[in-house]
Structure 1
Amino acid sequence: MQQNSPAKLFQSALTYYQQRQFAPAAALCNKILQIAPHSADAMHLMALCTAHSEPKQAEQYFERAIQAAQANTTFKKSYANFLLTSQRYTEALALYQPLQALNPADTDISYGIAFVHYQQQRYRAALSLIDKTSVPDTSAAKWLTLKARALIDCGKPDDAVRSLDQALKLTPDNSGLTLTKILALRQLQQPQQALDCFQQLPDSATTRYLAGCLYYDLQQYDVAEQQLLQALALQPDYIDAHAAINKLYWEHSNSTQFLSSFQRALIAIPNSTAVYLSYISHLLMAERLEAAIAVTNQAIQHCGKQHQLLHALGTLHCKQNQIDKAMPLFQQALAQAPNSVRYQLDNANCLLKAQQYHAALPLLQQARQIAPDNQEVWAYLGLCWRLMADPQHNWLNNYSQFISVKKLPTPAGYESFAAFWQELKTAVNALHTTDHQPLDQSVRNGTQTVGFLFNNPAGIVQIYRDLLTEHLQQYLAALPSDPDHPLLRRITSNQRFSGSWSVKLRNDGFHTNHVHPQGWLSICTYLHVPETISATDPQHQGWLKLGETSLQLGEREQIARSICPEEGLCVIFPSYIWHGTVPFNGDDARITLPCDVVPDI
């Protein structure tokens, strides 16, 4: 065999690739393609070598290799894996499914499909596939970790712990399984039991971060801060740790240290786009717009005109109603990432503000094609239809049919609703432990409970959850069917609570107008209503308002429906419907029990 023959070069390139020396492997693949430009094997290996460093180039090589050898399932599987790691889940699934039909025993393909189901929140489908797949011992831990994470996220953390305990008996030193068990125990609101697991883990940024979160749950805030600081010392670009420590500072009014973690990180890694983006996001949430603009311009100088930074700058100008500055930045970002739903929505928002409805509509329709279950997409699409006087607005929102306003009944075992409600008030009040509004939520002048309320072990909370579940089923049973409607087409026999919490608003407190992008149905129950909130108040202080957006459209805004709170009143509405509250005055607190519901598929 000749020294420089394509076959000999390919073997050398493959050896480099297996040794993770991707640059010399790619260089040899280039040589092969100069000699044999139609070599599918060389194209495929080139794609694998450049998958991380040049993803756009890698995608072209994958497609060329598949075109040159259409019967080669290995190439298609590699491309599907590439799409999976690129978080292009729908495209990955479209490749995996026909491959699975051809190779039903290939557990790598089955894992890819299960992982896509998990990432797209089809937890029931993921668990079903995991349970029926015969997994080799060499990859059992990976599958068990995915199963446990699916159980955690679908609201079954206790099942996850049982599954993980069985797995850890077989592989007690598996740190991935132990970390997942810590997440499950935290979801179960058992932080001390979760901390007991750390003795099995080596010290790392991840373990420090998780320990910080658990000490936060235990209200040991000084220890939580130290753990999070150590996580960031080990890994300055640990974005979740930045978010956690600044949440702690914000909620406990530590203005001196708030955002200091980002400043330290940028000294260590001045060209980190991820750190800059998180820093900018926190400044935006804290409504420090001028500082955020300065940091964004600094980021562009250090990191270049990346679409994430251009979009961030556009968002900040949009917040200042500088549409003429925001729109070209959004357009540049969209040109770099044309399938970004976020960018499509924000481009459309600028056009809506500028009364260019016919230009906004195609962007919203494209976003709908990419993310048909994203509630924010439907919220803006409905707004565009209303502003265009399109009757589809009424079809979508139908405020009289889709909004349920009813008082909850007295649960079994209680002599009166008042007795039940007082017990629930006492339990929930004890969970409000912070002294500042959440940084990343719609709450203003109020506090929000930490964690998933319905995982609280208190019996009264579980009685309320069961009562609400029955009430929800009655609401769903009364809805009509429509295979095209974003609410009605997703009705299934099973639903799950994807979020649950409590909000306590103080004097002059309110919720800004918002929607729930990842929801399907949203529910708000009024736990405590101050006497100053009244059905006869012409100013509607403390009332829920539906239909008015966050775009500040002036005379073009519209409150479609207003609801006066009452204790025990439960309001159900589609998550894409805009909603907020009117500020109220008074010394007493307004306490609610909101939650989100999604189909359990």
Structure 2
Amino acid sequence: MTTGASVLSSIHARLQSGDVAGAARAIADVVRAEPANGAAWQLAGIIRRRAKDAAGAVEAFGRALAAGVRSAEVYNSLALSLEDLGRAEEAAAAYEQAFACDPAYLPARINAARLAAAQGDLAGAEAALRAVLAEQPGAVTVSNALGALYAEAGEPGKAAAQYRQSIAAVPGNLAATIRLGLALREDGRAEEALAHFRALAGRFPRAPEFADAMAGALIECGHVAEAEALLERTVEQSPDYFPAHRGLARLAHEYGTGKDPYRSYRALAERWPGEAAIWHSWTGLMLDRRDYAGVLGAVAGARRALGGLPELDLYEAIARSEQGEGTAAEALFARAAPRLGGTVLVPRARNALRRGEPAQAEALAAEATRADPADRFAWAYRGLAWRLLDDPREFWLHDYDRHVEQRAVAYLSDPGALDELRETLRGLHRAQAHPSEQSLRGGTQTEGNLFNRSDPVLRRLREAIREQVAAYLARFDGAADHPCAGYAGARFGFEGSWSVRLMGEGFHIAHIHPAGAISSALHVSVPPLGAEDGRDAGALVLGEPPAELGLGLGPRRVVTPIEGALVLFPSSMWHGTKPFRLHAERMTVAFDVAVRR
């Protein structure tokens, strides 16, 4: 007997509520019992992709197609999953199949253009979207996609102009209204963004996404109290809009409001204790903030309200591991693993390192890299395991001589160039404390993507750095199974860019950049060594693992910072900085590079 649509709808509802693991378990039961149920396999693909199991999603969508569910929607979902695996050519072919099924299916047209842009064909992607707009002038989703294309390409000014066209066509289009404000902020026009939000606030009085975006503009313009009041109203009106709760927590930490950062989450959990999504969101925030005592308290409350969800074992395992209870954490990881699959691999590998079990850590991290070759944390932990095991593959992964390079940005040696850059950056540092989920301690970080701003000082810097990155990538000509294989001559873009300003004893704890392929720090201001500073004060150290793992391993390379020079290295390489004693400014521009092979 084939499972009915109502059952599949109930499973989909679990997914939409945030219970990804529960939905995965339920759909697994269905496809196990009914391997020819195409609709169930399609839903399984959607769930697996949400669970970050791209390979499993590709399999599921393939099974749906084999069972006869040949629709533009399935081919589009298959293409997205292939993109997740870095299989761009196969993804493009799947989008072509979606067009063949239904040429008017806009998501596939939009996603195909986005893929083309990601592969470096911005002109082709733009032309494809404009062709759709010529066919369907009122297709605001396509107009918005074109705006997003410009935004991703680092052209927020063009993005803003396109979103204005979307709003002119459909004044009530919420997505275009929000994205216009975000594009203006990204372009360094925060006051203009705030004026835009204020002018249209009456049009969207109960849209939490609008309020959240407006709060960001208020914060950037220095109206912190007004932003806090807006977010307070938003969590009252839309208690299930979790970004507003996270925004309140961020304000409490970075802007010193003096209020409990979790107050809105506490109220939610007290009012609706049986809603799993509340506990997942709250606990996720505390994990990001490294508030492990808070995680344990929330997990205890969630268990009382929800019972023994495997995700709670995972959350508790991570927290106990970070508090030094490695044996208890391993028991919890082992209990959660059969039900959560690949989600457990990387944190369990980290715990294995902490417990002095490098062979187990290597096996777990190896499984994670096979499932997702782009998992930077899995490679980073695998590298540490190899180091502890005296395995020469440590230096195959990270060659600290060839893969780390310090390069001068030539124009910054021109008279006044560094001073001009410093003054531009100082004007963008408005927070009072470091973001709690980031690696810096004792400093601040700028908002948004620095290289997307139209400020001519930052645009000149971006293009100069682009030249340096292109030259650096040429050194990666290694084996095909290396995570950096194919970088030489590859197209690339900036995944993120920001400035960090440290004062006093500020420093960076050891960390990696999971969203990038290559990472860098350009040193803009380097303080002189004080009387109490050691020789390596303020230095960039690479290869030294996080201190909390207790491995007792020092750095593999120490780089003395030079003003006007950047240091480039693979994003999976552990790096941090040594603190300095002198109360002086240390300012950098950091960025991640996404390589399109």
**What interval of TM-score do these two structures reach, taking the shorter chain for normalisation?**
0.7 to 0.9
Q: Compared with structure 1, are the counterparts of its residues 216 and 401 closer, same or farther at alpha carbon in structure 2 (3 Å cutoff)?
A: same
1:191 Cα deviation after fit? 3.1
Question: Counterparts in 2 of 1:402-551, with a 5 A limit?
Answer: 402-410=403-411, 417-480=414-477, 482-532=479-529, 538-550=534-546
Q: Measure, in 2, the Cα distance between the counterparts of 1:532 and 1:180.
A: 45
Alignment partner of 1:440: what SS? Answer: coil
Aligned partners of 2:314 and 2:332 also within 8 Å: yes
1:360 Cα deviation after fit? 2.7
- Show the counterpart of 2:594: 598
Say whether residues 1:290 and 2:278 are aligned partners. no
Tell me the amino acid that sits aligned with residue 438 of structure 2.
Answer: Q
Aligned partners of 1:43 and 1:64 also within 8 Å: no
1:71 Cα deviation after fit? 6.7
Q: Compared with structure 1, are the counterparts of its residues 213 and 538 closer, same or farther at alpha carbon in structure 2 (3 Å cutoff)?
A: closer
List runs of 5+ in structure 1 lacking aligned partners: 1-39
Q: Compared with structure 1, are the counterparts of its residues 288 and 72 closer, same or farther at alpha carbon in structure 2 (3 Å cutoff)?
A: closer
1:225 Cα deviation after fit? 0.6
- Show the counterpart of 2:316: 313
Tell me the amino acid that sits aligned with residue 505 of structure 2.
Answer: D
- Show the counterpart of 2:352: 351
Say whether residues 1:397 and 2:394 are aligned partners. no
- Show the counterpart of 1:29: none
The answer to which of 293-302 and 90-99 deviates more is 90-99
Mark the structure with the bigger radius of gyration.
1
Alignment deviations for residues 356-392 of structure 1 (CA, whole Å, 9 cap, x no partner): 3333333222211222122222211222222222222
Q: Measure, in 1, the Cα distance between the counterparts of 2:109 and 2:9.
A: 20
Aligned partners of 2:255 and 2:431 also within 8 Å: yes
1:571 Cα deviation after fit? 0.6
Aligned partners of 1:548 and 1:558 also within 8 Å: yes
Q: Measure, in 2, the Cα distance between the counterparts of 1:90 and 1:301.
A: 42
- Show the counterpart of 2:238: 235
The answer to which of 490-499 and 329-338 deviates more is 490-499
Q: Compared with structure 1, are the counterparts of its residues 98 and 246 closer, same or farther at alpha carbon in structure 2 (3 Å cutoff)?
A: closer
1:55 Cα deviation after fit? 4.2
Aligned partners of 1:51 and 1:82 also within 8 Å: no
Tell me the amino acid that sits aligned with residue 322 of structure 1.
Answer: E
Alignment partner of 1:402: what SS? Answer: coil
- Show the counterpart of 1:579: 575
Alignment partner of 1:441: what SS? Answer: coil
Q: Measure, in 1, the Cα distance between the counterparts of 2:510 and 2:75.
A: 42
Match 2:251 to one of 248, 252, 261: 248
Q: Measure, in 2, the Cα distance between the counterparts of 1:391 and 1:418.
A: 46
Tell me the amino acid that sits aligned with residue 193 of structure 1.
Answer: E
- Show the counterpart of 1:216: 219
Q: Compared with structure 1, are the counterparts of its residues 211 and 104 closer, same or farther at alpha carbon in structure 2 (3 Å cutoff)?
A: same
Tell me the amino acid that sits aligned with residue 586 of structure 2.
Answer: R
Alignment deviations for residues 469-523 of structure 1 (CA, whole Å, 9 cap, x no partner): 2222222234435433222324454322111111111222111100000111111
| Length, aligned pairs only | 554
Alignment partner of 2:510: what SS? Answer: coil
Question: Counterparts in 2 of 1:135-174, with a 5 A limit?
Answer: 137=136, 140-174=139-173
Aligned partners of 1:208 and 1:227 also within 8 Å: yes
Match 1:566 to one of 562, 565, 570: 562
Match 2:204 to one of 201, 206, 216: 201
Match 1:270 to one of 270, 273, 279: 273
Tell me the amino acid that sits aligned with residue 390 of structure 1.
Answer: D
Question: Counterparts in 2 of 1:65-76, with a 5 A limit?
Answer: 65-66=37-38, 70=66, 72-74=68-70
Alignment partner of 1:548: what SS? Answer: coil
Q: Measure, in 2, the Cα distance between the counterparts of 1:77 and 1:212.
A: 35
Q: Measure, in 1, the Cα distance between the counterparts of 2:134 and 2:101.
A: 10
Tell me the amino acid that sits aligned with residue 352 of structure 1.
Answer: L
Q: Measure, in 2, the Cα distance between the counterparts of 1:393 and 1:276.
A: 39
1:57 Cα deviation after fit? 5.2
The answer to which of 349-358 and 107-116 deviates more is 107-116
Q: Measure, in 2, the Cα distance between the counterparts of 1:291 and 1:44.
A: 40
- Show the counterpart of 2:188: 189
Q: Compared with structure 1, are the counterparts of its residues 459 and 224 closer, same or farther at alpha carbon in structure 2 (3 Å cutoff)?
A: same
Aligned partners of 2:354 and 2:550 also within 8 Å: no
Tell me the amino acid that sits aligned with residue 166 of structure 2.
Answer: A
Question: Counterparts in 2 of 1:51-130, with a 5 A limit?
Answer: 51-53=12-14, 55-56=27-28, 63-66=35-38, 70=66, 72-74=68-70, 77=73, 97=93, 100-101=96-97, 104=100, 106-107=102-103, 111-112=107-108, 114-115=110-111, 122=118, 130=129
Alignment partner of 1:254: what SS? Answer: coil
Quick one: percent identity of the two aligned structures? 24
The answer to which of 515-524 and 451-460 deviates more is 451-460
Q: Normalization by structure 2: what TM-score?
A: 0.82
The answer to which of 395-404 and 45-54 deviates more is 45-54
The answer to which of 347-356 and 475-484 deviates more is 475-484
Aligned partners of 1:154 and 1:498 also within 8 Å: no
Alignment partner of 1:52: what SS? Answer: helix
Alignment deviations for residues 287-306 of structure 1 (CA, whole Å, 9 cap, x no partner): 54333312221112212322
- Show the counterpart of 1:385: 386
Q: Measure, in 1, the Cα distance between the counterparts of 2:146 and 2:304.
A: 43
Tell me the amino acid that sits aligned with residue 321 of structure 1.
Answer: G
Alignment partner of 1:163: what SS? Answer: helix
List runs of 5+ in structure 2 lacking aligned partners: 15-25, 39-62
Q: Measure, in 1, the Cα distance between the counterparts of 2:84 and 2:470.
A: 34
Alignment deviations for residues 259-300 of structure 1 (CA, whole Å, 9 cap, x no partner): 222222223322333332343344445554333312221112
Tell me the amino acid that sits aligned with residue 460 of structure 1.
Answer: V
Q: Measure, in 1, the Cα distance between the counterparts of 2:161 and 2:393.
A: 48
